[in-house]
Amino acid sequence: MPDEWYKAMLPKPTRASAPFWEACDREELLLPSCRPCGRVFYYPRIACPLCGSRDLGWRKTSGRGRVFSHSRVHVSFYGDSWKSQLPYTVILVDLDEGPRMLSRLVGTDAGGVASGDRVEVAFTEIEGRKLPFFKRIIPIQEDMQ
């Protein structure tokens, strides 16, 4: 599918989250990282939800993960203008770096996804913003890379 086909409600970044979305525009998936406890987390916040520190940085991820759960959506929750998107697939993905995130699975094989499948980020430009959607990768592809 060409990017123009996709619809999304664009995020309204905050001071804490803007670097995440700006990195997406550069096709990088970053996670906030905590300097004192060394852990990464999702989503970006003003303080580490694991230890409470406000001494935070950013860590670049591999952009890969494994599907924790998935749903094929057949109904538009955004009125008639979204009917063109149906059906679409929503996933919870466990990133290789640890945190779980919610995203949308794209690609012609999205409908056949199963939990445990390997996926990688597929930045998709919508109205000038690149969103971190995901696509399936078959194991042999990943081994060869």
Between 42 and 48, whose beta carbon lies closer to other proteins?
42
Between 73 and 137, whose beta carbon lies closer to other proteins?
73
Site for other proteins (CB under 8 A): which residue of 1, 10, 51, 138?
A: 10
Q: Shortest CA distance to 20 belongs to which of 49, 42, 53, 47?
A: 42
Q: Shortest CA distance to 56 belongs to which of 28, 25, 72, 35?
A: 35
| Beta-carbon contacts of residue 113 (< 8 Å; ≥ 6 apart) | 67, 70, 89, 91, 105, 136
Alpha helices by DSSP H, listed for the chain, are 18-25, 139-144
Q: Does 5 participate in binding other proteins (rule CB under 8 A)?
A: no
Q: Does 17 participate in binding other proteins (rule CB under 8 A)?
A: yes
Between 36 and 112, whose beta carbon lies closer to other proteins?
112
Q: Does 131 participate in binding other proteins (rule CB under 8 A)?
A: yes
How far apart CA 137 and CA 119 sit, in angstroms, is: 5
Site for other proteins (CB under 8 A): which residue of 73, 107, 125, 135?
A: 73
Q: Does 102 participate in binding other proteins (rule CB under 8 A)?
A: yes
Q: How far is the CB of 9 from other proteins (least distance, A)?
A: 4
Q: Could you list the residues that contact other proteins (CB under 8 A)?
A: 8-14, 17, 42-43, 68-80, 85, 88, 90, 92, 100-104, 115-116, 131, 133
